[in-house]
Every structure is written in structure tokens, then in C-alpha cells.
Chains A and B, each alone.
Chain A
Amino acid sequence: TQLLEQSPQFLSIQEGENLTVYCNSSSVFSSLQWYRQEPGEGPVLLVTVVTGGEVKKLKRLTFQFGDARKDSSLHITAAQPGDTGLYLCAGAGTSGTYKYIFGTGTRLKVLA
């Protein structure tokens, strides 16, 4: 069974600080996505990474896919209160069935 472990599970920081969230697995994924979910809403896709070693930037967010396509990280620079939410990684298997395994989630709170 494929599992995706995220760390940390909870994170509370002050506005302006930097942070990194990790997503780790022993399985290889064909692609990996990061989502942000706010209370009462469904997850919203932030980015998809598909190539080992790939780095993508979305404003203050930097996403990296591990060389072996087993892990990923999300780095936020100068966090803002609007970044508060549940961050989820999701890996797509290599079987071609477009099945996603979601990570355990990281709940981020950015204090003003």
C-alpha cells in the first residue's frame, strides 16, 4: 500500500517567517500534486510536478519533486496570514489509472 507521510503535522508561525513542508513515501509516483484546503471547502490544486528533480515556483511558494520521484517539498517564503490552511500532497501511481494517494496533511497557521 502506498503511503504519503507529511511533516510537520501542525505548524504555527509568525507572519514573515519562512517554512518548509515535507511529503515522503517509499513508493515512486508518476506525478505529485500539492493542494491547499480551507475550512468548509474542497482542496484547490496549487501545482503538479512530474519530473524527478523538478522545481516549480508560484509567487512565494517553491515546490520540488525528489530526484527519485518518492518525495516532495513545499517552501513558503515570507508567510502571510492568507497562507493559512491545510496543505496536502497527493501522488499519482504509475499504473496509469489516474489514482491519487493523499498525504496526511500539514495544518499551517500564520499569525499576523
Chain B
Amino acid sequence: EAGVAQSPRYKIIEKRQSVAFWCNPISGHATLYWYQQILGQGPKLLIQFQNNGVVDDSQLPKDRFSAERLKGVDSTLKIQPAKLEDSAVYLCASSEAGPSYEQYFGPGTRLTVT
């Protein structure tokens, strides 16, 4: 079974530029998560989708971050304009809807904002 795919793996941009990340979850997984992980810290949930609807985006900086999940499958996360403090690894995870709650993570995209 294919895992969660993310691209690109690395991205370097200057502050005030825009950037987009892509995630393809495991087939059949209804729930998709985007996390931000600052170096050495635990992941922080940015947004959670159930199929193509948003369940939780309370920690998403909506003035600069946006996300969508196309047809309940793939998802993109965009930052515009980027700030220095956005430098982090952006992780995508997916899980089946149900009490198992087991998340499967992609390898992440490491963003460096200069």
C-alpha cells in the first residue's frame, strides 16, 4: 500500500514570497491533517479535513495560510506572503475516519524562508 506522498521535499524562498505544498493521502482515508513542525518540537495542527470539509482550522494563520482538499482526496497548503518564522517542516497525515485514530505521515516538506 502506498504511503502519504508530499511534494516538494525541500523549498527555499525569500520572505514575502508565496509557496504551495501538495499532499496525496493514503487511498480511502477520509481524514487529512496538515501540521507545522518547528525544529526540535512536536507537530502543531494547522488544519484538519474530513473528506473535503474543514473540521478544525483554529490554529491556521488565516491572514497568510490557506488550504483546500480537492474532491476529498489531494490537498494543497499555501503560504502568502511567507515570513521568516514560517521556516519549518510541513507534515501531511491521513487516517481513516473512526475510533482507530491511527495517523500515517508523509515525509514532510522542509521550508526555509530567508
Contact = CB atoms under 8 A, between A and B. Distances in A.
A44 B42 contact: no
A42 B101 contact: no
A102 B107 contact: no
Nearest to B56: A99
Contacts of B97: 98
Interface string A89-112: 010100001111111110100000
A51 interface: no
Interface of A: 4, 6, 30-31, 33, 40-45, 48, 50, 86, 88, 90, 92, 97-105, 107
Contact of B105 (A44, A48, A97, A103): A44
Interface of B: 4, 31, 33, 35, 40-45, 48, 50, 55-56, 91, 93, 95, 97, 99-108, 110
B108 A41 contact: yes
Contacts, number: 69
18 contacts: A31-B99, A40-B107, A41-B108, A42-B91, A42-B107, A43-B105, A44-B105, A48-B101, A48-B102, A86-B40, A90-B42, A98-B101, A99-B45, A100-B103, A101-B45, A104-B42, A105-B40, A107-B40
B108 A88 contact: no
Given A42-B106, A90-B42, 6 more contacts: A42-B108, A43-B43, A43-B105, A98-B95, A99-B56, A102-B42
Given A102-B43, A104-B42, A45 B102 contact: yes
